[in-house]
Structure 1
Amino acid sequence: MPAEGQPIPHLTGPSTHGPFDSAQLVGKPFVLYFYPRDNTPGCTTEAQDFRDLHVQFEALGCTIFGVSRDAQKSHERFAEKQSLPFALISDPEETLCTLFGVMKNKNMYGKQVRGIERSTFLIDGAGILQREWRAVRVPGHAAEVLQAVQALGT
């Protein structure tokens, strides 16, 4: 699991904008936000918040990627329905989820279930993990991430 201040390994995966490859992002910061599931209330609000701030992230040269275990088709429908301008990465084998340590046991309606703990990671243009947010609460989160990107001075 990458730690703040350390380089992240090479990342790849299928996305709604074609294959994701972190090597293509060298020199540019990017955000990976992990969310539990497409089309659920909290995940929809979080996606909308990042969507609404997308132009400001772009102005800073920062690319946003959402990541969940949902299938590619689900991501495509979700992205279209919410008019998401950024890519959603499909991680059904939990490769990225495991690498970033976001898989957790959670209580849902009194039952233990294994799922994604809402988490966000900011990687700078040199591939260094600059900031991580775990157990994210959605309100105000996208704006907080934008402030962290601004602080990078890109």
Structure 2
Amino acid sequence: MELMSLVPDFTLPATGGFNFQLSAMRGAPLVLYFYPKDDTPGCTDEGLQFKTLYEEFKQLKCSVMGISRDSIASHERFKSKFDYPFPLLSDADEIACTLFDVIKMKNMYGKQVRGIQRSTFVIDSEGKLRQEWRGVNVPGHAQAVLDCIKSL
């Protein structure tokens, strides 16, 4: 997907018992961060960084959503354990993962496995892709995303 291109609409189940629909988010910026797995150290740290800065994102009228292939039940436990203030979206069928091309072959204990490459996307109020980060290093990442939102 090209920067400044309109992101195609999609719908995914979300924590809290609702369905997230991308087109319903128009009118304000949106951060979608893709992470490999619930309740793992890097994914927990990333979520906690977004949690720490969440009020600043809210002041900018920006929504934050975490996405992985884990089930809604797993997401609900993960969200509750760390008290994340934003929804987590379940992409078990890899709809958004395919759209954003975040499924990559990774080495896990000497084996090649398909998994989510930690990636974040900023979508503007018109539904256009404005910024992307792939192969994210967690430390300082949420702040970099917030700085990007401030510059829109």
Moved over 3 A (4+): none
RMSD (CA atoms): 0.6
**Given that residues 34 and 119 in structure 2 are in contact (C-alpha distance below 8 angstroms), is that contact kept between their aligned partners in structure 1?**
yes
Alignment of 1:65-104 (within 5 A): 65-104=65-104
- 1:15 is the counterpart of 2:11: no
Percent of aligned pairs with the same amino acid: 52
Which SS does the other structure have where 2:31 is aligned?
strand
Separation in 2 of the partners of 1:25 and 1:7? 13
> Structure 2: which 5+ residue stretches go unaligned?
none
Q: Following TM superposition, by how much is the alpha carbon of 1:28 offset from its aligned partner in structure 2, in angstroms? A: 0.6
Q: Following TM superposition, by how much is the alpha carbon of 1:20 offset from its aligned partner in structure 2, in angstroms? A: 0.1
Separation in 1 of the partners of 2:33 and 2:10? 14
Q: Following TM superposition, by how much is the alpha carbon of 1:5 offset from its aligned partner in structure 2, in angstroms? A: 1.1
Letter matched to residue 20 of structure 2: F
Separation in 2 of the partners of 1:71 and 1:21? 17
TM-score normalised by length of structure 1: 0.97
Separation in 2 of the partners of 1:102 and 1:28? 24
TM-score normalised by length of structure 2: 0.98
Separation in 1 of the partners of 2:47 and 2:87? 11
Letter matched to residue 141 of structure 1: H
| CA displacement, residues 83-132 of structure 1 (integer Å, 9 cap, x when unaligned) | 00100000001111011000000011111111000000000000000000
Letter matched to residue 128 of structure 1: K
Give the paired residue count. Answer: 151
Q: Following TM superposition, by how much is the alpha carbon of 1:26 offset from its aligned partner in structure 2, in angstroms? A: 1.2
